[in-house]
Structure 1
C-alpha cells in the first residue's frame, strides 16, 4: 500500500480541479439570491428604482461574497502552486475548506434576508471559518514540508499573515456587531488595505528570495 499511496501523494492535479469546481458552483449560486423586485398593484412603475435601492443588502452580499470567495480561490491556488506533494491531512483539510465554501451561499442568503445583527454575525462567522480553514491548510503544508524547497521562511510567514488577515477582519466584525451591526458592515472595508499591504510585502519578499537564489547560483 505504501508504493501506491506514494504515487497518489505526488499527483496533485485532481485536488485543484475538484476545488475549482466547488468554488465555481458556490460563486454561481450567489447570484440566485438577488431577486427582481415586485411592484405592488396600484403602485406606478416609476417607483421601481426605489424598490431596487431597497435591495442594497442583496447586492452588497453578492459582491462581497463573490470577491471574498474569489480571493480565497486565489490564495488556495497559491498554496497548490507551491505544493510538491500532499498527504491525507491535506486531502481532509482541503475538503474542510470546500465544505465552508459551499456554505457561503447560505450565509449570504441569511445576511441578505436578515441584514441585522444576527445576519451580520452569521455571515461574518462563515467567511471567517472559511478563511481559517485555508490558513490551517497552509500551516499544515508548511509544517509537513510539503511545499517546494527554497521557499524563504520570511515568505512563508508573510503568506501565513495574508491567509490569516481576512478571517481576522470578519472576527472583528462579529465583535463590533454586538454593539453596532451597521458599523460591523463598514469594518469589511478593512479587507482592501490589509490585503493590499500584505500582498505588496509578499511580492517584495519573493523578489528578494529570487535575487538571493540567483546570487547563490553565481
Structure 2
C-alpha cells in the first residue's frame, strides 16, 4: 500500500522544529552595565534558573511528543479529513508550548507561581487529548493503517495514550495546591512515554484475540 501521509509528516516535523526554536528565544542574556564583572554575571545567570528548568522540561516534552507522533504515523498509511484536522490540533497546541514556558520562567519565583504551573500543565492535558483524538480518527477505519497491523497493536497504542490522560489531569489538578509536585509528574511522564512506546510491538501481523 502506498503511504499517503508524507506531506503531513513533513509539515508536522517543521512545526515541531519551530516549536523547539521558540523555546530558545526565552533564554535571555542578563542586562548588565558592568558585564565585565564575572561574579555579577554569574549571580544574574543563577537568578534565571527557572528559565533553564522551563526550557529543559518543555524541550523534552516537545521531543517526546515528536517521538510519539513519529511512531503513530509509522502506522498510518492513508489520510482523511478528520485525521488531518486532529493532527492540526496537535500542531496548534505544540506551537503554544513556548508561551506557558515563558510564563513559568518569568513567574515561578513570584506570587503567580501556581497560576503559571496550572496553565503549563493544562496545555499538556489538551495535547494528550489531541493525541487520543488523532489515534481514534486513524484506528476508526483500519483501512487507513499499515497493512497487517494487529488488533493488539491498535489497542496498545490506544491504551498507551488513554493511560497518560488521568496522569496529566492529576498534575493539572495538583498544580492548584502543589505546583512543584505537578511539574515533577510532568517530568516522570517523559519516562512513561519513552518506556511504554518501546514496549509496543508493531510487528505482529495477526491477532484474533
1:189-204 maps to which residues of 2 (within 5 A)? 189-202=187-200
TM normalised by structure 1 equals: 0.81
Kept in 2, the 8 Å contact 1:34–1:59? The answer is yes
Higher relative contact order (CA 8 A, sep 6+): 2
Q: Does 1:95 align with 2:85?
A: no
Greater alpha carbon shift after TM alignment, 138-147 vs 182-191: 182-191
Aligned-residue Cα RMSD (Å) equals 2.5
Q: What is residue 125 of structure 1 aligned with on the other side? A: 122
Structure-1 separation of matches of 2:198 and 2:72: 17
Structure 1 residue 100, shift from structure 2 partner: 0.7
Per-residue CA distance 1:126-155 (angstroms, 9 max, x = gap): 122122212210121011211123222222
Q: Can you give the 5+ residue segments of structure 1 that lack an aligned partner in the other structure?
A: 1-8, 214-218
Please tell me whether residue 81 in structure 1 is matched to residue 74 in structure 2.
Answer: yes
CA contact (8 A) 1:83 1:148 kept: yes
The corresponding residue for 1:32 is 25
User: TM-score by structure 2 length?
Assistant: 0.84
CA contact (8 A) 2:94 2:127 kept: yes
CA contact (8 A) 2:121 2:175 kept: no
2: CA distance between counterparts of 1:42 and 1:33?
Answer: 20
Greater shift, 24-33 or 10-19, is seen at 10-19
Q: State the structure with more CA Rg.
A: 1
Q: 2:151 aligns with which of 150, 153, 159?
A: 153
Aligned counterpart for 1:188 among listed residues 186, 197, 208: 186
28-37 or 122-131: which moved more? 122-131
Q: Is the 8 A contact 1:75 1:163 kept in 2?
A: no
User: 1:216 aligns to what?
Assistant: none
Q: Report the Cα offset of residue 165 of structure 1.
A: 4.5
Aligned residues between the structures: 201
